[in-house]
Amino acid sequence: MRVLNNKEIDELSKYQHKSSKSTIETYLCNGPTAWMERQFPAFLSPNSLTIIGQAPLQIMVFLVMWNTGLHISTDNLVSKELMLMSAFAIQWFSQVDIMDGCRARRCKAGSPLGRLIDEGGDTLTMANYSILLAYGWSFNNPSSELVFFALNCVFFAMELKYVITGQLVLVVGELSGIEFELAFSLIFLAMGVFGSEGLQSTIGYTFGIPACSNCPLHMICVYKWGSILEVILCLL
């Protein structure tokens, strides 16, 4: 194990965590989320807010596993109530993850420890909502498991780029974690309202088209919506 020299220790002590932001995140930082951050008690540190934001998703994973079991199956789907709670938990994390940065900048409390707790905890959080998505979608194709590893792979690639270039870039164009977390929240919300059973029904059943009909779509009527979603995600 290499020991840091005096210059490296001095640079580490002065480290300020900062990264690029999308337009939506910039708006939230300067508007509603900044206001919400001020509603938390003043004695809470930015690191405390980080943990407060991450905890509900970890709890949701335990709840889903407790109620559904460790085996993901189309015969044992997650309840609508848990999906609605997951939608809230992921959006709670997304907003509080912005708030901890707002508090760190406002209180000038940025630190290397904050980056470790924030970014290190984010890898766990991404794994958590990947697990929840896996339960919600209930894919039964082993190759589809790669989809749920992809989120952390992208995050690790960005961290690797930071190590090499010294620039922390967490935005691709106008897409950042905020936009993806909003999309995931809406997915959980839809499954919470309508249930995830619809993914297990066939295209023909949804549109009332018999598999042997003369409809141009009859060739794909036997496929489930979940299978179509699997293919799309694997291609992405």
Q: What is the mean pLDDT of residues 24-47?
A: 87
Q: How confident is the model at residue 87 (pLDDT cuts 50, 70, 90)?
A: very high
Q: What is the mean pLDDT of residues 198-210?
A: 70
Q: How confident is the model at residue 88 (pLDDT cuts 50, 70, 90)?
A: very high
> Cα separations (Å) of 176 from 97, 120, 158, 210?
13, 17, 12, 42
Q: Which of 82-91, 137-146, 152-161 has the lowest mean pLDDT?
A: 137-146
> 0.85 cut: is pTM over it?
no
Residue from 88, 94, 91, 61 nearest 193 by CA: 88
Q: Which of 5-9, 47-51, 107-111, 148-152 has the lowest mean pLDDT?
A: 5-9
**Partners of residue 112 on adjacent β-strands:** none
User: For residue 150, with 0-12 CB atoms within 10 Å meaning exposed, 13-18 middle and 19 or more buried, which class applies?
Assistant: middle
Whether 80 has a pLDDT exceeding 80, the answer reads yes
Q: What is the mean pLDDT of residues 79-85?
A: 91
Of 180 and 85, the structure prediction assigns the larger pLDDT to 85
* Residue range 166-176, pLDDT digits in tens: 777 777 777 77
* Residue range 126-137, pLDDT digits in tens: 888 888 888 888
Neighbours of 227 (CB within 10 A): 19
Domains, the chain, in order of start with CATH, read 6-196 (1.20.120.1760), 201-236 (no CATH)
Q: How confident is the model at residue 15 (pLDDT cuts 50, 70, 90)?
A: low
Q: What is the mean pLDDT of residues 111-125?
A: 75
Whether 2 has a pLDDT exceeding 70, the answer reads no
Maximum average pLDDT range among 49-53, 145-149, 231-235: 49-53
Amino acid 29: pLDDT: 84
Place of tokens 């900062």: 18
Residue from 200, 209, 208 nearest 230 by CA: 200
> Looking at residue 3, what DSSP letter applies?
P
Whether 16 has a pLDDT exceeding 60, the answer reads no
**Percent of the chain topping pLDDT 70:** 72
Whether 154 has a pLDDT exceeding 80, the answer reads no
